[in-house]
């Protein structure tokens, strides 16, 4: 088993910097697009064999140092009692968004081993397939990110409906966050029980909160989830998107690894996050559209910054873009391994 990823999570010595890519099982791979022709996105998520097949693509095609379970952060929301629909142009939308205290009260904190059984099933297939290869990362959405989607019903430029609830009905919003957090903890545990070697909380919307609201309506729930997962012994990664103004707060999450977005230098992030934390990131995804010379130059910068943390897992600072040339992704992975071996 290539355990460089797990070692870097724990801050142990590694022969080279491990690398994987957010959304590595995605549309930039021709093989993914081929599978997509047979099955829509949610079918891919909900069919264990398909989810496993897609998860393995980047491991076999690109040589990344970790696999991440193929799924969507929104799969946990339907069994809570919300109806999710995919629209070709708009993406996923909840047709009955959370708008009142009664809506929140109706949400069910269900048993993920039961209602999301396809997840541990897929994880078990993957653990078998990945044996002697690379570790598998499980994941879920972070509480505020989930709440924002559930209240807005979709992504939003300003999250105004969410903000109004948070400002005017803080108790209700806390109740929502609490329900989401309890479910998320159980969901991540079910992935760990099935064999996931690490778990990651995706906080895509973290940067949609100013520091005061991040402190009140996000950080305590992230901390609670991380704490509850500690006894499992698997590393927890917390990806906080848009953390430029929040880095000191993000550093208090308790996670073993912080995923850093690309709008802050990794060097500065390492300083501001605080000690005893590994970092994951943070190449700008757009750089993969540039020349190999430019990619290599930027890989060096990221490796430099990462070398100041107790451990570094190379990744992009955001999900890979669908039109990214695969050739450049292969070059990137090779460059990370080659340049970090020399250190």
Q: Which stretch binds its own copies (CB under 8 A): 67-75, 229-237, 263-271, 330-338?
A: 263-271
How far is the C-alpha of 280 from the C-alpha of 305, rounded, in Å?
11
- Out of 132, 168, 231, 233, name the contact with its own copies by CB under 8 A: 168
- Out of 12, 291, 292, 338, name the contact with its own copies by CB under 8 A: 291
How far is the C-alpha of 71 from the C-alpha of 336, rounded, in Å?
26
Binding of its own copies at residue 91 (CB under 8 A)?
no
CB of 31 to its own copies, least distance (A): 24
Contact between residue 328 and residue 288 where contact means Cβ atoms under 8 Å apart: yes
Contact between residue 179 and residue 146 where contact means Cβ atoms under 8 Å apart: no
Contacts of 60 (CB under 8 A, 6+ apart): none
- Helix, strand, or coil (residue 12): coil
Binding of its own copies at residue 113 (CB under 8 A)?
no
Binding of its own copies at residue 211 (CB under 8 A)?
yes
> Which class for 38: exposed (0-12), middle (13-18), buried (19 or more C-beta within 10 A)?
exposed
Binding of its own copies at residue 160 (CB under 8 A)?
yes
CA 55 from chain centre, in angstroms, equals 14
- Out of 79, 290, 307, 319, name the contact with its own copies by CB under 8 A: 290
Binding of its own copies at residue 212 (CB under 8 A)?
yes
How far is the C-alpha of 36 from the C-alpha of 19, rounded, in Å?
25
How far is the C-alpha of 131 from the C-alpha of 194, rounded, in Å?
14
- Out of 179, 298, 312, 337, name the contact with its own copies by CB under 8 A: 298
CB of 229 to its own copies, least distance (A): 28
- Out of 151, 264, 273, 313, name the contact with its own copies by CB under 8 A: 264
- Label each residue of 48-111 as H, E or C: HHHHHHHHHHHHHHHCCCCEECCCCHHHHCHHHHCCEEEECCCEEEECCCCCCHHHHHHCCCCC
Phi-psi region of 32 (alpha: psi -120 to 50; beta: other; left: phi over 0): alpha
Q: Which stretch binds its own copies (CB under 8 A): 5-13, 34-42, 210-218, 226-234?
A: 210-218
- Out of 163, 189, 224, 312, name the contact with its own copies by CB under 8 A: 163
- Total interface residues for its own copies by CB under 8 A: 35
Residue 158 in tokens: 């300003």
Q: Which stretch binds its own copies (CB under 8 A): 83-91, 196-204, 293-301, 334-342?
A: 293-301
Closer residue to its own copies (CB): 70 or 262: 262
- Out of 63, 79, 207, 254, name the contact with its own copies by CB under 8 A: 207
- Out of 30, 40, 43, 167, name the contact with its own copies by CB under 8 A: 167
CB of 270 to its own copies, least distance (A): 13
Binding of its own copies at residue 171 (CB under 8 A)?
no
Q: Which residues bind its own copies (CB under 8 A)?
A: 158-160, 163-164, 167-168, 207, 209-212, 242-246, 248, 262-265, 268, 284-287, 289-291, 294, 298, 301, 317, 321
């Amino acid at each position: 088993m290539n355990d460089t990823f797990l070692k870097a999570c724990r801050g142990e010595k590694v022969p080279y910097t491990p690398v994987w890519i957010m959304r590595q099982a995605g549309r930039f791979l021709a093989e993914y697009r081929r599978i997509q022709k047979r099955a829509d996105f949610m079918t891919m998520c909900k069919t264990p064999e398909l989810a496993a097949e897609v998860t393995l693509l980047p491991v076999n095609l690109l040589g990344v140092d970790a696999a991440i379970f193929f799924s969507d952060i929104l799969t946990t929301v339907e069994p809570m009692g919300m109806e999710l629909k995919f629209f070709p142009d708009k993406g996923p939308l909840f047709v009955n968004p959370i708008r009142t205290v009664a809506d929140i009260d109706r949400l069910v904190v269900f048993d993920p081993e039961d209602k999301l059984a396809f997840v541990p099933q897929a994880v078990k297939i993957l653990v078998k397939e990945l044996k002697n290869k690379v570790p598998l990362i499980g994941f879920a959405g972070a509480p505020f990110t989930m709440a924002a989607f559930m209240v807005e019903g979709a992504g939003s430029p300003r999250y105004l409906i969410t903000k109004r609830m948070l400002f005017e009905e803080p108790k209700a919003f806390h109740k929502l966050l609490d329900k989401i957090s309890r479910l998320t903890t159980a969901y991540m545990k079910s992935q760990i029980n099935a064999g996931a070697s690490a778990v990651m909380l995706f906080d895509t919307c973290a940067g949609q909160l100013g520091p005061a609201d991040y402190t009140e309506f996000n950080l305590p729930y992230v901390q609670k989830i991380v704490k509850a997962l500690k006894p499992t012994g698997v590393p927890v990664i917390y990806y906080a998107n848009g953390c430029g103004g929040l880095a000191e707060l993000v550093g208090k999450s308790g996670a073993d690894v912080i995923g850093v977005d690309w709008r802050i230098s990794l060097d500065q992030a390492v300083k501001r996050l605080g000690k005893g934390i590994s970092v994951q990131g943070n190449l700008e995804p757009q750089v993969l559209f540039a020349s190999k010379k430019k990619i290599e130059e930027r890989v060096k910068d990221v490796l430099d910054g990462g070398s100041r943390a107790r451990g570094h897992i190379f990744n992009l600072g955001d999900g890979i873009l669908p039109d990214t040339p695969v050739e450049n992704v292969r070059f990137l992975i090779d460059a990370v391994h080659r340049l970090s071996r020399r250190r």
